Amino acid sequence: MFKSGFVTIIGRPNVGKSTLTNLLIGEKLSIVSNKPQTTRNNIQTILTGEDYQMIFVDTPGIHKPKHKLGEYMVDLARDSVKDVDLVLFLTTADVELGRGDMYILEQLKEMGRPVFLVVNKIDESNPKRIAETLKNYSDVYDFKEIIPISAMNGKNVDTLLDLMVKNMPEGPMYYPKEMIADVQERFIVTEIIREKALRFLKEEVPHGIAVEILSMKQNEHGKYKIDANLICEKKSHKGIIIGKDGTMLGKITRYATEDIRKFLNSKADLKIWVKVRKEWRDDNNLLRELGYKK
Ligand SMILES: Nc1nc2c(ncn2[C@@H]2O[C@H](COP(=O)(O)OP(=O)(O)OP(=O)(O)O)[C@@H](O)[C@H]2O)c(=O)[nH]1
Ligand SMILES: [Mg+2]
């Protein structure tokens, strides 16, 4: 019997949803950073085994939105639990069961789908804390399974995968078996650039950043030429992003180019221009242009 289905991964920002998604498919398609609110779109990846196919949906972290971009992100995450076969509710081994988590659990209760509690980052916690966390959560929700994991070192991820397959209904192969994602190359390239900006910039600057690909073409030798805008919210941010003598922008460009080459498996030339668009995170037209609006 062939099994298949959709699995959505939700939770607070920064708990490791994208790290887990990448680990499950064995390829880095979702960007990861140590700053909350890294993921802004629902990202579909596909894992096909001998007798199953699962489509994972990595979602933006659920938080209290402060602008229209945030509202869009939280709506996406919330909508992602509709019509799925299984929900992975990801959290970390904090003894505190916060209001953010409670809010998500309330929503899950209403939709009545099977939910696994996945407690991530056990590598940086101790057994006592982990045990307390598992208890606190199972006191407030009737989870189908409870699995402590580390998406960083892979601990227990095999067990998680087995349990997910076990819970998939009988179903068809939705995508060709060699396909690992339902996203465009262009999208991944913008995300790689944004990831480097998130990594190297500090405080509020990285959160106000968006990336727009102006052109992406391959020449006759197969080399990619990519021009991109890095959009920020303030003139003062522009200065920080460019850095003294262009060092910061140089660094972002260099690291992004390296990952883009690996991802496209081809040579690539990347040029980035920094643009200021005041309050783009609250501007419906700009949000739409940047792919952050339905
Ligand atoms: N120690 C440890 N760190 C982890 C683990 N999983 C993820 N991280 C780190 O946690 C941070 C956040 O990871 P992400 O995968 O971006 O988290 P996310 O839930 O997708 O975050 P948002 O997209 O902002 O909602 C990164 O610095 C990861 O390297 C883990 O199992 N152990
Ligand atoms: Mg993420």
- pLDDT of the residue at 110: 85
- pLDDT of the residue at 256: 98
Rounded CA gap, 249 and 246, in Å? 6
CA of 16, nearest ligand number: 1
Quote the ligand 2 centre to 176 CA distance (angstroms).
Answer: 25
- pLDDT of the residue at 172: 97
What does pLDDT average to over the chain?
95
182 — pLDDT class (breaks 50, 70, 90): confident
Tally of domains in the chain: 2
Q: Summarize pLDDT for 117-141 with one digit per residue, the tens.
A: 999 999 999 999 999 999 999 999 9
Quote the ligand 1 centre to 165 CA distance (angstroms).
Answer: 24
Least confident stretch, 91-95, 132-136, 145-149, 205-209: 91-95
Residues 106 and 227 in one domain: no
> Probe ligand 1: pick from 32, 34, 209, max atoms within 8 Å of CB?
32
Quickly list H helices, the chain.
17-25, 68-79, 99-111, 127-140, 157-166, 185-200, 235-242, 247-264, 284-289
- pLDDT of the residue at 129: 93
Q: Is 61 touching ligand 1 by the criterion CB < 6 Å?
A: yes
Copy the structure tokens of residue 270.
Answer: 């990347």
- pLDDT of the residue at 209: 97
Residues 157 and 73 in one domain: yes
Minimum CA distance residue for ligand 1 atom 10: 16
Q: Summarize pLDDT for 245-262 with one digit per residue, the tens.
A: 999 999 999 999 999 999
Residues 14 and 89 in one domain: yes
Range(s) of the domain holding residue 219: 185-289
CA of 152, nearest ligand number: 1
**Helix, strand, coil abundance in the chain, percent, nearest 5:** 40, 25, 35
Q: Is 42 touching ligand 1 by the criterion CB < 6 Å?
A: no
- Is 80 exceeded by the pLDDT of residue 95? no
Residue 200: inside a domain: yes
